[in-house]
Structure 1
Amino acid sequence: MYLTLLNGTGYIFDVDDCMDLRTKHRIMGALVGTANSRGWSTSEAALPLALTNYETQLLIDEGIAVLVSKVVDLSKQPDSAKLMAYKEEFDRRLLAQADALKAEKLRETKRHVDKILNGKRNKLLQQGKTAEAADLTAKDVLDEIGNHFEFDRQNALVEVPCAHLPNHSAQLYTDRIYDTDSLKYRVFHDLWKRGKYVTAGDAFGADFLVYPGDPLLYHASHIVIVQSTPAIRPLELIAKVRLSVIVNKRCVFAHATTAGNQIAYQTVAWSNPSK
């Protein structure tokens, strides 16, 4: 699998790679593209998938992906042949959208054809066209819908970034994206090796969020705080644990062992003696 180097980290532009990362390797990333002409929103985000620095580094370390830079080739001005190929592919996609929309409109019309037919017959009868009303059939209704169907390109789905053109070059990027000796990376790597789904926890005042399954199906069960030492200051302990209670999650403090070659975890739960 190839990750495209952008802004110092890896990006995925291929939907199959995106799904493989999620379903096979438990790497979530974040969709940062838009399929909405009004602008980007979290509810309608689309490809590409942006990975964090530590997600990118983990995929490289585990041999799952390689990081490549395409800046040289993708910065070139496309020639006329490439522009023509892109236009033909773009037109083909619009035509496919038009065909799909027409087929769906005909299916929906067929479901309610009896009501539509009665409505058209009543209208003709009100106009005094008795013969036309008697001759009108369901096939006539469907033919009218099909023959008068028009697809306005302005209403087409916005094209989202997808896999780059097959004929392009890339340069292998071998420098480290993230410090693999840092404690934060080691904690993330360790949790991932334990089979956990792990994402960034900034929104909850933590370093990581841990999920019991795919985040699309489950809420996070734990927030993880990375500590440089096993000692936890009382006020920080109270603040983090109370926060975890408010968001209905367990609070986990992670730190390196005394030897420094392993990661230790301490789970803290809030207890209310009055209950």
Structure 2
Amino acid sequence: MSRQFWRALLLATLLASALLVLNTCVGQGIASGSALYVQQLTSDPSSFDGQTVTVDGAYVWKPGDPSISVLALGVSTLDNGLDAQPLGDPIWLEAFPAEVTEDLHRPGDAVYGFVRVEGTFSHGGGFGPNGQFASQITVTSAEPIERIQRVEHRIEDRALGEGKVSFFELLRNPEAYNGQTVTTNGYYFWNSVIYVLAEGVSTEEDGASPQPIGSPVWMEGFPPDQSALLNIGPNNSYVWGAVEVTGTFQTGGGFGKDGAYQSIFFVESAQPLTP
């Protein structure tokens, strides 16, 4: 079970213990400017309908058709930080400021984190892209409650020596190496969804939610025995690390997941690099 899920359970416990006090002074709370919780709004929405509210909760944004942008009681994820799911009865957020998302968790397939939101609360149904949300907050301001700092690990843009091609050279002149067997260095990244070689990997300060940096190249055939020597996530949820790889490089587009990658590397051998 993910640490984000336990954080959500802790928030739920705190909310439950606070409701006895909060329910007796909701009006006073609004007047004094103190923040509400999502559960207060969803348990008695008519009392707040049409009012300007300040509320703390878990923001979750996911792309798709349609995308979602909601405030929830909490959020659960897989061990690798992917597949974020809002907990409880989420509230649709209209006009959430994009700049705030830079300080939240960004595992690659979603954005999530605990935030304080101010805006006008509306209830009555029909909110969101398909009208499936009962309530909405039209956001006027927002700020993160937790600010996520990320750490970057990168290779240098330099020549690698005789018989080797730098990763940056492959990106700058892919046609010159198309169909050739090359040896290069980079950061291998795997999370069960994507398999790539990149110029670097960024992680949160505790090592969570790794993401490739730059313009990654799709990879096929990375040896599992070498993966075991790299950084491995909980329950084998991700693998990443600096490596030297030899294999066939191809370019031209349409490679990898959803055909989204310009180039691909068919690995013949690989070994970890010492930091």
* Bin for the TM-score computed over the shorter chain: under 0.3
Larger RCO (CA within 8 A; separation ≥ 6) = 1
Identify the structure with the greater helix proportion. Answer: 1
- When the two structures are superposed, what TM-score results if normalisation uses the length of structure 2? 0.23
Identify the structure with the greater strand proportion. Answer: 2
- When the two structures are superposed, what TM-score results if normalisation uses the length of structure 1? 0.23
